[in-house]
Chains A and B, each alone.
Chain A
Amino acid sequence: MSSASSPSPVPLDLPFVRHTLANGLDVIVHEDRHVPIVAVNVWYHVGSKDERPGRTGFAHLFEHLMFEGSAHYDRGYFPPLQQAGALVNGSTNTDRTNYWEVVPTSALDRALWMESDRMGYLLPALTRARFQTQQAVVLNERRQNYENRPYGLVTMALAEALFPPGHPYSWTTIGSADDIRAMQLDEVQEFFRTYYHPANASLVLAGDIGAAEGIALAERYFGDLPPGPVPQPVTADASFQDERRLYLEDRVELPRIYMAWHTPAIYTGGDAEADVLAGLLAGSKASRLYRALVYEQRVALDVSAFQNSRELGSFFLLAATAAPGRLLADLAAAVDLEVARLAAEGPSPGELARVTAQVEAQFVYRLQTNGGFGGKADQLNAYNVFTGDPAFFAADFARFQAVTASSIRMAASTCLAPDARMLLSVVPRDRAALALDGSERVTPS
């Protein structure tokens, strides 16, 4: 319909200016004057991968402490920013910790003052009472998002099953409840000194601000903070030599099967193909697994697939919930058949064209917001921290454009091998018989 008149590709661009301060802080400015707001986004290159066994969950607990106030404004991080009309948040994952605020242009100075104060002067404001309260808050976050949520403990089971003991991904970012309880206030000091300083951080300003002005402001507020030593990169490997079968009992009505494979690390060869595979298999109603499992055979209620791209190595996770009375073995067999077909035949030209159209649209949609999780500021920081190049946006798009039927076929056969994966059955309590045959029970908590 549309192709006759206007096949012109969308100009995809995420322009910026980068400047590194003398203390090592990367400052990246992206100008977008459509709305009078500025997105302030700070990444620290530290996540749960940098923790040690016995102190899992530390990076995330620390993130909470960053919102409790700093030396020169010690009455909480939120009030002066909410008074300026800002939206404020942060998050921690295995690889990094991010903090952001979206402020009216008129409040940019205040936001930078606050961000720089906690980067330089967090510790004097940190009291034992605040530390203990946030321990309790995080334990409740853990109950809410994992322990008391259906299929929530799968995250814990996956981390332990996918990675060998001691691997930095073998524990979850939220951490174990015992470790969270065991943390001591004095351990916070060392963590702050090691990871929270300009040389381990990257600042993006995106929105109603020019490059020169943005860099001058960053220099003004962050320029006199002392750098620390750049932390040693963490490395680790993980792979499967065979198929592991596990099961987990949970407070759920319907059994669900999870399949997980190790896949190439973020932005490395094969990562984009794995992303595309997820879409081909389960990205929509037109996907292969939705069609087979939900639409035609009706053995499953839902199916999803996801390339979980990470720094030290990714994993591909597929999940399908059994329709009432259906066996997980039937779901697994149907999945295996479709994955094998894709590995043998590759996608059709029509499928590939649909993938290309969706990838292009998604890259455009990603440019709609300056701030928040996944907005332009967050993307620029992801590229800068993980590849060293904020301009990687174009290369990121190019690697998806370079995907071919044969590269997808190759990825399906090498990444999604049936004999090198983990199968996790989640079954209702006391219904172990509903798990796949030969599964070993796991009891994460």
Chain B
Amino acid sequence: MTTVDRSRLPDVGSDPAFAFPQMRRHRLSAGLDLRTIEHRSLPVLALALQVADGSGSDPAGREGLAALTADMLDEGVGDLSALDVAEALERIGAEYHVDVDADATTIAMVTLTRHASRGAELLAGSVLRPSLREEDFSRVRQLRLDRLRQVRDQPAAMAERGLLHLLYGTHPYGHLPIGATGSLRALTSADVAAFHAAAYRPDRATLVMVGDLEHDAMRDIAEAAFGGWTPGRGREAARSPVETVTAAPGPSLAIVPREGAAQSFLRIGQLGPPRRTPDYEALLMMNAVLGGQFVSRMNLKLREEKGYTYGARTGFDWHRQASTFSVETHVDTAATVDAVLDALAELTDIRGARPVTEDELAVAKASLTRGLPRSFETAPQVARIASHLVLYDLPDTHFEDLSARVRGMRAEEVSQVAAAHLHPDRFSTLIVGDPAVGARLAQTLGLGEPVVLSPEV
């Protein structure tokens, strides 16, 4: 046995070779765009059908429509009832999951390869031929109204709702996908049918298949399942939001009252550039340094140095149009004011007073490049990533490009995008917490009376 040299850490060797999965594009007879990726580790197939409309396509006064429509897809298909559909999925061991965000709706399925045809058929059934029956509609809408009521229990959900409102105002990005009580009550099954016809069309959708099959086999399965898809009678394609986002005025302070809360849930946010900004890679680096991982300024300060919180993070919520950038953390009620000051200092200092160091640069580069291969381990992971490329119309060489760009990045570039994109004079600070804390915070920040956001949803 050789004794380990504990006087120094082992060096990290050169990065192992890793080839990002190759995606093949197909056009099905219905006009549907299909992307296939062979993933040979296990007999698993992941499918993701994405349509280019999400909650940002909700008409004014009909907030919640995209999410309710997505929820209705498996609540009856053709002659099958909702329970029949659930049983059919169980018989092939399938997992079925719907995700609605501001820009898109994604219906994802995972099944065993030997059930590939049946899985594709069930997915196609939900997307092409949902029953959208009145009785199912009223049951599902009521469930969503009840869930909306439960949003009031959850500090993080209340904060998300408040921050979207503060940052986007009346822009279509300014609401939670679930909508609001008034808008959900106003929805009808006719609204759902119209939205389905307008948004769920082969010319506005992309199917991604990743699994233990050859490209052409996946194409044949998709063709058999989706070949009969014709655009519905939607008068026109659903409208992706086109209104320009106007920067929120700021700085501002808002509170959602939660009397006697043991912690304050804190968000500090601002609008950021769209996903396709040329500064994307530099902004990812900035976020990694600032609060995107455990070893980041925000977490080390608020958790490891001060013990104010279990964890603090920053992140972008990327969109086709203006994204958001924000801090989020649950902090001890007694430490709230100090935590806000520390967080604001970190957001401000990276712009110049304390520029990014070489050490920080190295850690951020490592997490964005060396850490990348583990994101391609499973078929569902790869399908999610491929859908992301589709959503933002990114090139197939995206990850090669990103890695090269990050590897060559200099610390000054990161500090420069921080200075250009972070706007301390426009931060919206929001807490869900005890009103007395809000008053103290207002006094300290000199922002006048905080805006009180009603917990009514």
Contact = CB atoms under 8 A, between A and B. Distances in A.
Q: Do A and B come from one complex?
A: yes
Interface of A: 1-2, 6-8, 10, 32, 34-37, 71-73, 76, 78-80, 82-88, 102, 104-107, 109-110, 113-114, 116-117, 121, 132-141, 143-145, 147-150, 208, 219-221, 223-224, 251-254, 284-286, 291, 294-295, 298, 301, 321, 323-324, 350, 353-354, 357-358, 360-362, 364-365, 367-371
B307 A301 contact: no
Interface of B: 1-4, 6-7, 9-18, 40-44, 74, 82-83, 85-87, 89-95, 110-112, 114-118, 121, 139, 142-143, 146-147, 149-150, 152-155, 258, 261-263, 265, 293-295, 303-310, 330-332, 362-363, 366-367, 369-374, 376-380
A2 B149 contact: no
Contacts of B4: 113, 116, 220-221, 224
A368 B12 contact: no
B370 A148 contact: no
Contact of A133 (B139, B153, B304): B304
A133 B40 CA distance: 46
A140 B331 contact: yes
B423 to A, nearest CB: 28
Contacts of B265: 148
B153 A105 contact: no
Contact of A360 (B93, B295, B367): B93
Contact of B262 (A10, A148, A360, A370): A148
Identify the interface centre among A221, A361, A370: most chain B CB within 10 Å of its CB: A361
B9 A369 contact: no
B83 A286 contact: yes
A114 B366 CA distance: 18
Contacts of A301: 143, 146-147, 150
A357 B146 contact: no
8 contacts: A10-B114, A88-B294, A139-B332, A147-B262, A323-B146, A358-B90, A361-B112, A368-B377
A442 B18 CA distance: 56
B330 A36 contact: no
Contacts, number: 233
Given A72-B6, A354-B90, A357-B91, A140 B310 contact: yes
Chain B CB within 10 A, most for which of A1, A109, A294:
A1
A35 to B, nearest CB: 5
Contact of A254 (B13, B149, B154): B149
Contacts of B308: 136, 140
Contact of A82 (B11, B295, B330): B295
B21 to A, nearest CB: 10
A116 B10 CA distance: 13
A180 B146 CA distance: 37
Contact of A79 (B12, B42, B295, B374): B295
Contact of B9 (A113, A147, A254, A291): A113
B366 A144 contact: no
B367 A85 contact: yes
Contact of B330 (A85, A143, A286, A321): A143
Contact of A208 (B16, B111, B363): B16
Contact of A106 (B14, B90, B117): B14
A252 B152 CA distance: 8
Given A2-B115, A140-B310, A82 B294 contact: yes
B126 to A, nearest CB: 13
Contact of B378 (A83, A294, A368): A368
A136 B362 contact: no
Contacts of A32: 41
Contacts of B43: 10, 364
A72 B7 contact: yes
Contact of B92 (A136, A357, A365): A357
B10 A36 contact: no
Nearest to B136: A295
A362 B44 CA distance: 11
Nearest to A130: B304
Chain B CB count within 10 A is highest, among A6, A10, A368, for A368
Contact of B263 (A1, A140, A360): A140
B379 A37 contact: no
Contacts of A224: 1, 3-4
A84 B13 CA distance: 9
Given A116-B4, A284-B86, 15 more contacts: A6-B114, A8-B114, A76-B295, A80-B9, A88-B294, A104-B15, A140-B307, A150-B150, A150-B153, A254-B149, A285-B85, A354-B91, A365-B95, A365-B110, A368-B44
A154 to B, nearest CB: 13
B123 to A, nearest CB: 13
A362 B93 contact: yes
A357 B89 CA distance: 10
B263 A369 contact: no
B50 to A, nearest CB: 22
B303 to A, nearest CB: 6
B87 A286 contact: yes
A136 B307 contact: yes
Nearest to B362: A83
Contact of A364 (B14, B42, B153, B331): B42
A350 B86 CA distance: 13
A97 B114 CA distance: 38
A372 to B, nearest CB: 9
B38 to A, nearest CB: 12
A354 B84 CA distance: 12
Contacts of B95: 365
Contacts of A36: 16-18, 373
Nearest to A285: B86
B120 to A, nearest CB: 10
A368 B366 contact: no
Given A36-B16, A72-B6, A87 B83 contact: no
Given A1-B121, A10-B43, A220 B377 contact: no
A126 B18 CA distance: 39
Given A357-B92, A369-B377, A73 B42 contact: no
Contacts of B310: 137-138, 140-141, 144-145
Contact of A84 (B18, B370, B373): B370
Across the A-B interface, the 6 shortest Cβ-Cβ residue pairs = A361-B93, A85-B370, A136-B307, A36-B16, A106-B13, A150-B153
